[in-house]
Amino acid sequence: MAGIARLLALGAAAFLAAAAPCALHAQTVQDRFLTNFLKVDNGKYYSIWAKKSFREGVNPPVLKATDGEVVDFVRRTPGAVGYIGDPSKAVGVALVK
């Protein structure tokens, strides 16, 4: 599952569902997610998405301000995937560690 989440965050797995999955970022944990999970820094991440947006016409993941906003969006949106910093906030959604 971690491999799929990585592909989603980098925009490489839109083919996995009938509708393109939405990967959401909690702004409060974005740097930690990029460094520890994706193994890229902020500059590299935005460079990847700038190229994808230009070449493939896809949008980068939505950036939400809080874990609660991410969880709320994922709960209401079929196929949505997001990451949060506090697992206790993942009420009503499936949690993958």
The verdict on residue 97 lying in a domain is: no
Q: Is residue 27 part of a domain?
A: yes
pLDDT score of 33: 84
96 is a domain residue = no
The domain tally of the chain equals 1
As a three-state string, the secondary structure of the chain is: CHHHHHHHHCCCCHHHCCCCCCEEEEHHHHHHHHHHHHCCCHHHHHHHHHHHHHHHCCCCCEEECCHHHHHHHHHHCCCCEEECCCHHHCCCCCCCC
Residue 16 domain flag = yes
pLDDT tens by residue, 1-37: 566 666 667 766 554 544 455 667 777 788 888 888 8
In a domain, 15, yes or no: yes
Give a yes or no: residue 70 inside a domain. yes
Residue 33 lies in a domain: yes
Q: Give the pLDDT score at 18.
A: 44
Full residue range of the structural domain in which residue 78 is found: 2-89
Residues 48-82: tens digit of each pLDDT: 889 988 988 888 888 888 889 989 988 888 888 88
Instruction: Report pLDDT for 5.
Output: 67
pLDDT at position 19 is 46
- What was the pLDDT predicted at 44? 92
